[in-house]
Structure formats: structure tokens, C-alpha cells
Amino acid sequence: MPIIDYAIYVIAGDGDLEEGVSAEASSLAGHLALDNLIVIYDDNHITIDGDTNLAFSEDAARRYKAYGWRVIEVPGDGNNMEAFEKALKKAKREKERPTLIKLRTHIAYGSPNKQDTAGAHGSPLGEDEIKLIKKNYGWDPEKSFVVPDEVLAHTRKAGDRGKRAERKWNKMFEKYAEAYPELAQQFRDASDGKLSINLDELLPNFETSSSIATRKASGAVLDAVMPQLPLVLGGSADLTPSNLTKFNGAEDFQQDKRSGRYIRYGIREHAMGAIMNGISASGLTRAYGGTFLVFSDYMRPAIRMAALSRHPTIFVFTHDSIGVGEDGPTHQPVEHVAALRAIPDLMVFRPADANETAQVWKFVLKHRDGPVALCLTRQGLSVLDQSKYGSAANVSKGAYVLIDVDNPDVLLLSTGSEIGVALAAYEKLQAEGINARVVSMPCWELFEKQPQEYKDSVLLPSVKVRIGIEAGVEHGWGKWLGSKGTFIGMSTFGASAPAKVCFEKFGITVEKVVEAAKKSIAS
């Protein structure tokens, strides 16, 4: 039973065809032969600067054919309704390719002075011109907000059609639920945003003695949970073996494999972000996708859109610092965690070890009100001993005390891979009679939402000596460090060298933390 068989319509202008993201998405749509995708290209020849031929003279139809699309050029212009309807019907019948319908239109159609001009693009037409248009159409130029009766009657028919279609679909779904009760329940749960699995049972528990990169821990989580989450789609922008986003048993979603749940986005980060938003916007399905953290820049508009529209998209960013090593500064993010934290309504996670990573995923899978970004290491990290340190389950509070002593002289605040540095500094300071408290801060946005009481219990307002440690720029840390704080991290781009050498050369070391703590206490 075709409980989901709708077509996706896109109305696109020349600007949309010029933007790189649509080139990426269209190439992939052609590759995947998405036959239910219908793009109506509103080809009006006008941009804000003037005629499109100022900057755009390619053969768009030929380009889309090169992508493997069907292209239908509507004869005449956008007012040739009969031809347009015919084109739409053809497109709906198409079963092998996406379709681009090229429709020559006229901006501000019917406006005596502004039709086919850039003047109609960026600004309102103005009262006088609106009156002239109405006159031109044979309407009363003095009346506003008029809906002629025949238009009202015609439009209300659409409501009736919709009601009939809904009744029909509901009946079909009833039959579907009888035939496939489990699948129907899955559908209902997904619609309701219910997670019908027991995450605590499924999530792996990582042994303290091991060293494991958080990207690997993330991969292990996906192996464990994804077989139970049939409506979640994974993928990567051609970094699968690095992002470790392909779960055990995953099959590629391809032209000949529509049941596959792993999308090969190709080297197209921006389209990946936008497509994941589309998948997550459906209310039924959800998507995660991987790339290097440094490439989050390529998909930033999609991340912003997810935050603005509250899509529960999951951005998996691995290789999250100079710890990347030899690939060098082009591949070493230093400003990206800070830049992501600047986006409202995006939750940015940087877990400290494998078990924090599992807890981040636990939170993420339950969280449906907006996007999340996971920042994960390439390099191995010691798995923290939860009998000695605070429990990783505290990830859900955004920040928590990892280890403490009575009357701390200094707070060591850190995230991700630098928690190891903070803990070693704690030991060293302890040996020198200095009391440090170590706070893990995997998600600032979650911590901000905690009651003031909890926040004060973690950050102890009376302790002014604070060291922030993160292998990224200081930007944003001032808030936690206050006037007397010191930041140990990056202030420049990285360099090409093994991770260990990078950390040493850029001064993100136990010695530097101890030195800064002592200096700050003494001052």
C-alpha cells in the first residue's frame, strides 16, 4: 500500500540555479534517479542587479540533462497553463529520473511599468503601480484584499479535494495497520516523536582500560542502535572510513536499492546538510551525516537553517582539532567549535571520552527540537574511570564535576580531548598541594539551561582562578573564565605535524596548565 507516495515539488529561480548547493543536490538527485522530484524553474530573466545575462548565460536545460534529469521546456510562457499542466503530468508519470520544468515567466506580470524589470525584485511595487496593475487586470483599483467569489469557490474546492484525499488515506492506513501492525506502529511512533527502543540497554559501555577515539565510540554506538532505528538515515560526504558513520549491516541507498539507509553524499557537504534537513523535516524520518569538522564551514547555511527551522538534524563532525595531525592547517579546525557555538538553538557537543560520546548519542536520539553537532576526535582518548570520576550520564546537564577536592583553589574547565590534559594537571597540582576541581563541559548550550543553583554548584562563583583548556580558539570562553581566568588553547591556525607534536608546540600541555594555575593563584 502506497502510504507514502508523494512527489516533492521545488519552485526554483535563477538564483537557486546559480547557487552551488543546488548544483550539488541536483547532481546527486540525478545519480540517485529520484523520480518523484519535480523542479519548476521560474525562468524570469531578472535578478536584483538586472537582467540575468549580466552573470548567467549557461544552458541550464543542457546542464540538467548532464546530471541525468529529464528536462521539459514549456512552450510560450508561464501563462500557457495548458502546456504547463501537461508538463506537470508528464513529470508525475516519469519513473526513471527527476524532472526540471523550464518555465519562462515574467516578474511582476501585468505591471505596466515594472514587468520584466529588476525594480520588481527587491522592493515593493508601490501603491500607484499596484493600482495600475489592478486597472490593467480589469479590477477596481481602489479596492484591496478583494477575493472574487469565483476565486473563493474555486479555491474552496481544493479544501474539499484535500478532505476526500485525507479520508481515503486514513482508510488505507487502517488497512495497512491491519496487514502490518508493527510497521504501522513504527509509523505512528515516529510521527509522535516517540523513541520505542531502550537506549540504556543498547548503548555500549566502554572499558576504562582502553584508549579509543570518540569517532570510534560514535561508530560503535551507531552499530548498536541503528539496526533498531529503521527511520533514521545515515551518510557521509565521502569520508565514511574516517567519520565511521556506516553502521554494521548498513546498505547504501541507491537507484537500485531504495531500502538502503546509508547515503553516499559524495564530496558535497552543503547539499548533505540541506538534504539531511529535508529528511529530518518530514516529521517521520531523521538523518545524521558525517564530514570533517573543518568542513562544517561548507554546510553552515544548512546548519543555520536547521536551527532556525528546528529540524532535528544530526551533524557528525570528526577530526575536531589539531589532533588531526599531518593533514595540517587546512584540515585542522581551530575556530569551528567556537563558530558553531555562536549559532542560536544549535547544540554543540564535544565529548571527553567514549562513554561521554555514548551519552551524547543517548541525548541526541531523544532530542527532537532542533539540530545537534557532534565534535569527535580522530585520535584515541583514554576511557575515563567512572568509579573515580563523575558519571558520563551527566552529559545531559551540559557540564559536570569530573573530579574534586575540598576547597578548590582553581577550576580546570575543559572539553573533549583536552579533558585528559586537565586530569593530568589536576594530579600534578595535587602533588604540589594545590586543590583543583576539573569540570567537563561537553555542551555549553545544555549547561546554560540548567537551574542557577546547579550551575553555581559546578562553577563555584567564589573561585575566581579558572583555567579553560580547549584545542580551539578562546572566543566564547571569557564567559566561563571571568576576569581572572586564563585560556590554554589555540590563537592561530594549526600546523602539519603529528598530533603530539602539535599539542606540544602550541602549548596545550599539562605543564602549561600547571604553570598558568600557579601564576594565576599567585597574582
Q: Which of residues 474-493 bind a second copy (CB under 8 A)?
A: 474-484, 490-493
Nearest one of 272, 273, 212, 219 to 241, comparing CA atoms: 219
**Binding segment toward a second copy, per CB under 8 A, in 65-73, 371-379, 383-391, 398-406:** 65-73
Q: What does the per-residue mask of binding to a second copy show for 186-225, with x meaning CB under 8 A?
A: ----------------------------------------
Nearest one of 132, 103, 108 to 120, comparing CA atoms: 108
User: Using CB under 8 A, which residues numbered 288 to 307 contact a second copy?
Assistant: 295, 297-298, 300-301, 304, 307
Identity of residue 325 = G
Q: Identify whether 269 is a catalytic site residue.
A: yes
User: Using CB under 8 A, which residues numbered 232 to 261 contact a second copy?
Assistant: 236, 238-242, 252
Identity of residue 299 = M
In the list 1, 8, 11, 15, the residue contacting a second copy (rule: CB under 8 A) is: 15
**Binding segment toward a second copy, per CB under 8 A, in 149-157, 177-185, 331-339, 378-386:** 331-339
- For 233, the 3-state DSSP assignment is strand
Dihedrals φ, ψ of 11, to 5°? -105, 115
Q: How many helices (H) and strands (E) does the chain have?
A: 21, 19
63 vs 134, which CB is nearer to a second copy?
63
In the list 38, 343, 373, 467, the residue contacting a second copy (rule: CB under 8 A) is: 343
User: Using CB under 8 A, which residues numbered 75 to 134 contact a second copy?
Assistant: 118, 122
Helical spans, DSSP H, in 244-293 = 269-281
Residue 72 contacts residue 41 (beta carbons within 8 Å) = no
CB of 201 to a second copy, least distance (A): 32
**Binding segment toward a second copy, per CB under 8 A, in 43-51, 351-359, 369-377, 416-424:** 43-51
In the list 39, 229, 324, 334, the residue contacting a second copy (rule: CB under 8 A) is: 334
135 vs 484, which CB is nearer to a second copy?
484
Query: Should residue 434 be labelled a site residue for a second copy when binding is judged by CB under 8 A?
Result: no
Query: Should residue 321 be labelled a site residue for a second copy when binding is judged by CB under 8 A?
Result: no
User: Using CB under 8 A, which residues numbered 356 to 395 contact a second copy?
Assistant: none
Q: In 60-187, at which residue ranges do the beta strands (DSSP E only) sit?
A: 70-73, 99-104
CB of 437 to a second copy, least distance (A): 17
CB of 188 to a second copy, least distance (A): 32
The set of cell numbers assigned to 516 is 598558568
Residue 89 contacts residue 70 (beta carbons within 8 Å) = no
Dihedrals φ, ψ of 386, to 5°? -75, -10
Nearest one of 240, 173, 230 to 197, comparing CA atoms: 230
Please tell me what DSSP assigns to residue 313. -
CB of 262 to a second copy, least distance (A): 10
Query: Should residue 473 be labelled a site residue for a second copy when binding is judged by CB under 8 A?
Result: yes
Give me the catalytic one of 94, 269, 356, 470: 269
Residue 189 contacts residue 352 (beta carbons within 8 Å) = no
- 40-45-50 Cα angle (round to 5): 140
In the list 41, 265, 288, 361, the residue contacting a second copy (rule: CB under 8 A) is: 265
Dihedrals φ, ψ of 382, to 5°? -60, 140
Contacts of 171 (CB under 8 A, 6+ apart): none
Nearest one of 514, 510, 512, 490 to 502, comparing CA atoms: 490
CB of 142 to a second copy, least distance (A): 25
CB of 288 to a second copy, least distance (A): 16
Q: H/E element holding 151?
A: helix 149-179
Query: Should residue 148 be labelled a site residue for a second copy when binding is judged by CB under 8 A?
Result: no
CB of 476 to a second copy, least distance (A): 5
Catalytic residues: 269
